[in-house]
């Protein structure tokens, strides 16, 4: 069944996601603060709206793909998005935001007489363009079922993770595993270098032994063993280090808020924050390997 969707935030991810909804036959009204992005989305069949509220006024579903929780909450409340929508509108927030902000957003949506789902994604810009994203959703069963046709038009997989905020929780837990494993794999390659062990030899063993993980076999941090990994193209992202730093910052907030003792997660957050502000600013997150070699980055 075709829906009318208001899509707010047409950036790197939102632009191609909105275009995929159009391709699947939905009517999509789009808005972004950057007029050029609205024009680009327009070329893909997204109908330009003059404001987020204007887009939401006639929509069945409002999808947001914004930088952070403060943008989502400001748009929902102070900027009048919830007030502009028809009663019972489904609000699906696909941005990666703080779990606490996601729960606050759910409460605001429900208090305004609407329905809410948090549905952050994994898969990056490539996944957004190819409609192969994975969605991790938090909210009621009925809301998830209602959103599913749209999620499947933009992605390959949608997992209902639990109640409000559970999608964001799954996202930051997954990315904390990824960050720790990438640092672990990188440290092992640096140790191998110091022991005179070949990258390829370590890869051949670890990729089929108990060291096997995505950070090794898909996004291998040294050039050679996995030809498609960013290490083979001077660490052009891929998954950029600042985005990993952002997600680990959210994980660190949640760890502290819950009093959870996770020394490796907190250390990874610290390492990626420093890396993203320095030489990692424009690089894939696997380039952290460069900072681990004796004598510093090279």
Q: Footprint of ligand NAD on this chain (CB under 6 A)?
A: 8-14, 31-34, 37, 52, 65-67, 71, 75, 95-96, 121, 124-125, 243, 246
DSSP one-letter code for 22: H
Catalytic site includes residue 171: yes
Min separation Cβ 188 and ligand NAD, Å = 26
Backbone angles phi, psi at 182, to 5 degrees: -65, -40
**Taking CB positions, which residue lies at the least distance from ligand NAD?**
11
Catalytic residue chosen out of the listed positions 23, 157, 171, 267: 171
Min separation Cβ 127 and ligand NAD, Å = 8
Residues β-bridged to residue 107: none
Number of residues that this document lists for the chain: 298
Considering the complex, state which of residue 156 and residue 293 has its C-beta at the smaller distance from ligand NAD.
156
Min separation Cβ 195 and ligand NAD, Å = 35
258 CB burial (10 A radius; 0-12, 13-18, 19+): exposed
**Residues near 221 by Cβ (< 8 Å), separated by ≥ 6?**
182, 185, 186, 189, 215, 229, 231, 286, 287, 288, 289
- Give the H/E segment covering residue 11: none
Considering the complex, state which of residue 185 and residue 244 has its C-beta at the smaller distance from ligand NAD.
244
Min separation Cβ 66 and ligand NAD, Å = 5
Neighbouring CB atoms inside 10 A of 26's CB total: 21
Considering the complex, state which of residue 53 and residue 289 has its C-beta at the smaller distance from ligand NAD.
53
Considering the complex, state which of residue 13 and residue 116 has its C-beta at the smaller distance from ligand NAD.
13
> Active-site positions?
171
């Amino acid at each position: 069944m075709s829906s009318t969707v208001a899509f707010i935030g047409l950036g790197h991810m939102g632009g191609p996601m909105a275009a995929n909804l159009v391709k699947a036959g939905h009517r999509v009204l789009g808005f972004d603060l950057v007029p050029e992005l609205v024009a680009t989305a327009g070329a893909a069949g997204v109908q330009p709206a003059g404001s987020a509220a204007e887009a939401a006024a006639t929509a069945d579903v409002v999808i947001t793909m914004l930088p952070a929780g403060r943008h989502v909450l400001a748009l929902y409340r102070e900027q009048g998005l919830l007030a502009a929508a028809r009663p019972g509108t489904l609000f699906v927030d696909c941005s990666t935001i703080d779990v606490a902000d996601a729960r606050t957003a759910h409460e605001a949506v429900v208090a305004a007489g609407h329905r809410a789902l948090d549905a952050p994604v994994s898969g990056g810009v490539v996944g957004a363009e190819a409609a192969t994203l994975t969605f991790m959703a938090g909210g009621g069963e009925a809301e998830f079922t209602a959103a599913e046709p749209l999620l499947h038009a933009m992605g390959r997989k949608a997992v209902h993770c639990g109640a409000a905020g559970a999608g964001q929780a799954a996202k930051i837990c997954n990315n904390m595993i990824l960050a720790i494993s990438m640092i672990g794999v990188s440290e092992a390659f640096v140790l191998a270098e110091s022991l005179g062990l070949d990258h390829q030899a370590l890869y051949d063993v670890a990729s089929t032994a108990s060291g096997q993980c995505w950070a090794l076999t898909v996004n291998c941090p040294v050039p050679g063993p996995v030809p498609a990994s960013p290490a083979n193209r001077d660490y052009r992202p891929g998954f950029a280090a600042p985005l990993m730093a952002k997600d680990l910052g959210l994980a660190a907030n949640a760890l502290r808020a819950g009093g959870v003792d996770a020394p490796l997660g907190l250390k990874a957050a610290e390492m990626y924050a420093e890396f993203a502000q320095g030489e990692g600013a424009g690089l894939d997150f696997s380039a952290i390997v460069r900072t681990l070699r004796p004598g510093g980055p090279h």
